[in-house]
Structure 1
Amino acid sequence: MSSRRPPALLLDLVLVVAALLDVWANVDSEDRLPRVCGLVAALALLLRRHRPLLTFAFTLPTALTGDAVFATMAALYTLSSLSRRRGLLAVCALTFAVSDFMPWPWTSLEVDELGETYTLVDITFTLATAAAPVFLGQLVQARRELSLRLAQISEAREQEQLLTAQAVLAKERAQLAREMHDVVSHQVSLIAVQAGALQVGSPDAEARAAAATIRRLSVQTLEELRHMVGVLRASGSRPTELTPQPSLTDLRRLIDASGIETVLETDLPDGLPPALQRAVYRTVQEALTNVRKHAPGATATVRIRHRGDTLRATVTNTAATRPALRLPGAHHGLVGLRQRAALLGGTVTSGPTPDGGHTLCLTLPADARTDPDRAEHAG
C-alpha cells in the first residue's frame, strides 16, 4: 500500500522555509545584496510548478552573489523533472555551475601551485552540485512516465480480457440460440400442431377446449422463444429489449388460461410502479403453475391487498382431487420468487394449509421501484 503524498502547497512551503534557513546560515547579515537575492529566490519557489524556467532565473542570483544555493538547486530539479529539452537543461546546469564557482564581485582568479589543486576540486564539486539536480529530476520524470505507461498497459490488458470474455459469451449465446431454435422451437411447434389437430377432430367439447388452450399457449411460447433467440443472437452488440413485461391488467387473462377454477379478489389502486405489478404477476403465475403440477383438480383463490405502505398478494389452493403426474422441474421457481422479492425489499413465504392445500404469500413495500427484470437482463 503506497503512502499518501503531502499536499503540493505544503511541500512548496517547506522548500521556501529550507531556502530561507540556507540564506540565514550561509549569508552574512551585513551582505545586503546576497540576502535580498536569497529572499527573492526563496519566494520564487512558490512558482516552480507553473513557471519552472522563470523560477530558475529568479534563483540564479543567490548562487552568484553568495553561498546559499538550496533554492537554485530546488528550481533546477523542478525544471529537470518537468522539461524534456536536454539542451536547455545542460545550459541551465552549466550556468548554475559557473555562477556558483565565480566569486562576487567578479575578479580574476589567482591560482598558484598549491591553490591549483583546490581549484580543480572546487570545479569538480561545483559541476557535480549542478549535475545532481538535473539527473535526479530526469530520473523522477522517467519514473513518472513509466508509471503512466504501466497504468496504460494494465488498462489495455483489462480491456483485452473484457473483449475476450465478451467474445466467449457471444459464442455461447449463439450456440444456445441455435439449440433453442433447432430443438425447443421444433418441439413446441409439434405440440401446437398436434393440439390443433385434436381441437378440430375431437368429439369431446372439454377435450377441444383443452386442446385450444394448449395450442394458444404453444403459439405464445413460440413467439417468446423467437424473441429470446433474437436476444441471444444479438450477443450484446446492440441494445435489445425484453419481451413487453406483464402488468396487473394481464392477471385475468393469466387466470383464464391456467385451466384452474380461480377466484380473483383485488383492491389495488391504479398507477402502481411497474416493478410491483410484474412481481405480483410472476408470483401468481408461479403459484398457479405449482397448483396445476402438484394439485390437479384443486381450486385457487388469489387475493391482492394494498394496506398503508404494504402490498400483499396471497394465492391459496385447496387439496388435490386426483393424483398428480410426475413432471420435470428445476425446483427454482420459489427461489426465483424470493430473489425477486428481495430486490424489491419484500419477502415470499409458503406452506401447507389445514385442509391439505397450500398457500403462497408475497409481501412488498408499496413504494418499491427496483426492476428485477431489468436487473436480471443487465446482469
Structure 2
Amino acid sequence: MGRMNGVREQLIRVLRMLRDDLWTARAAPLPPSVWLRWLPHGMVCLTAFGSAVSNVDHLADRYQFSAQAAMLCSVLQGLAVVLALWRPVPAWWASTVVSVVTALIARDHLLDDPHSGDPSWPWAPPGLIAHGIVLLLLSLRLPTRVSAEALGLTALLTYAVQGVIGGANYGPSGKVAVALFTVVVLLGTALRGRREARHQLVEQTGITVEERARRTLLEERNRIARELHDVVAHHMSVISIQAQVAPLLVEKPSVELKENLEGIRKNALEALTELRRVLCVLRSENPEDPYGLGAAGTGNAPEGPQPTLDRLDALIDNTRAAGLEVVAEVRGEASAYPPGLQLSAYRIVQEALSNALRHAPGSRVRVRVTHDLRGLYLEVTNSRPEGPLSSSPGAGHGLLGMRERAVMLGGHVAAHPTLPGGFTVSAFLPADGASHPAAEDGFPPGLAPISGPTAGEARGVRIPDMPMPRPGTGSTAGPSTGSSAGRQQEKRPHDE
C-alpha cells in the first residue's frame, strides 16, 4: 500500500510539472540581437550577389560575352554595390565605368549578330538594378548636390552611349534607366533630408531642455536674490535710524562720535539707495501667481516687506479659498529665526501648496511646522487627487527653488510620492546656518519624523491612505508661529 502511495505521489508531481511547464502563457521573449543593426548591410550584400549572378547569365546569353568576361564584369558590378556601403562615390565611379565598358563591348556583339533577339541596351536589367542601388546609397549618405551631379553625369553618359555612339539590334533602355535613377535619387534625398531633420530636432530639443533648465535655475536664483535684497534693505534702514538716534541717547556726545555716527548713517543711506536701484531692476512688475498665494512683488507696493512665518495662516486661508482642504499643525516653541530663514520657510510652504493646487485638485493637504533647537522642520503632504488634472501654468521652478533656498541656508529638501497616491514635501532649515546631513527620510540625525509614511515606504510596507484629521478635531503641540495659526484647525474649508 505504501508503495502504491509513493507511485501515486510521483505521478501527481509529474503531472503538476507538465502543467506548470506546458499549460502557461507567460512571456519568454528572445534577447535583443546585436546582428539586427547589420541587417541593411546584409540585405545590400545579398542584393549585390543576386545581381552579379543574374548579370553573368544575361551577359553570356544575351550579349554573347565569354564566361571569363561575363564573370569579371558581373563581379566588379557586385563589388561596386558592396563598396557603396562605405565609399559611395568610388562605388558610383566603379559601377559607371563597368556599365559603360559593358555597354560598349555588348555593342560590338549586337552589331555582328542580327538575330540576338533585341536585348535591353545600353543598360541590362541586372546592371540597371545594381547601379540604382549604388545611386540610392549615395543619395542617402551625401548632400543633394553630389547626388544631382552623379545623376546628371549618369544621364549624360547614357545619352552619349545610346544617342551619340548608337548601336543596332537592341531594345533601348536609356530612358527607362534615367527615369528609374531619378526616382531612386529623389527617394534617397528625401529619406536623407528626413533623417537629418529628425536628428536636428533631437539636438534642438536637447539644447532647449538644457537652456530651459538653466534659465529656470537662473530665474529662481534671481528671485531668491531680490527677496534677500529686501531683507538686507530692512537691516540697512534699521542701521541708518539707529545711527541717527544714537547721539540723542548720550548726554554730551563728542564731535568724533557725532561724525562717525553721521558717516555710518550716510553710508547706510547710500547702500539703501543702491539696493533700491537694484530692486527696481530685479523685480518684475507682475510675476506669475496663478493661485493668488501672495507672491513677492505683487500689488501696488513693490517695496513692501517680504513675508515671514507670521503670515502662514493667511497663506493657508488663501489656499482654502482656492478649493483645497488644508489642516495646519504647529509643534514646538518658535525661536527667533533670522529673516532669511523665515522668508525661505514661507516660500517653501507656498510652493508646496501651489503644487498641490496644480497637480492634486480636490485633495486634502496637511501642513506641519515643527520648531526644534536645531532649526525649523516643514512638511506639506497631500492625499490622492480627487478631481481631474489640468495643465500646470507654472514655470517649472517648484522643487528647484525649494532646494536652492534650503541649500543656501545649510538645510535640505526631500520630495517623493506616497504609496496611496499623494505627495509629500519636507524641508529642514537649520537655525545656525550650519549644514546638517540628511537621512533618507529627509530628517537630520536625531530629529524624529512627525509623519509615518516615509520610514514605512523605505521598508516597502503597505501604508493605508493618509487619514486626514477633520478641521476642528486636531490639536497643536506648543505655541503657534503666528497670531492665528493655532486657530487654523477650528476652521472648515466651506466656512472660509
TM-score (normalizing by structure 1): 0.41
Higher relative contact order (CA 8 A, sep 6+): 2
